[in-house]
Amino acid sequence: MTKIMRGTTMPHCAAFGCNFQSKLNKGTDVSLHSFPHEKTRRKQWEDVCGRVQLPKDPRLCSSHFSPDAFEAFSRPRL
């Protein structure tokens, strides 16, 4: 599992209705991940988020992915 720690900003999940924050969810299996740079995949992530406006450095927590697709981050679960 990747741990994302960056400066003073508190990373949180960008998905609509999801308030996951790594700080508040220590000890869970859920983790936050930065969006991929690859266009097609990024679009998929944006679709999962369900919102038009995303933060500059959006993250998505692993609860939006099915376990078998988690490694590749290729198939967001809807």
x/- string (CB under 5 A) for Zn ion, residues 11-50? --x-x--x-x------------------------------
Contact with Zn ion (CB under 5 A): which of 31, 48, 61, 65?
61
d(CA 35, CA 57) in angstroms, rounded, equals: 8
Q: Pick the piece of the chain touching Zn ion (CB under 5 A) from 4-12, 36-44, 45-53, 59-67.
A: 59-67
Work out how close the CB of 33 gets to Zn ion at its nearest, in angstroms, rounded to a whole number.
Answer: 10
Q: Which of 56, 35, 38 has the alpha carbon at shortest distance from 46?
A: 35
| CA 26 to each of CA 4, 61, 64, 73: distance values in angstroms, whole numbers, following the listed order | 12, 13, 17, 21
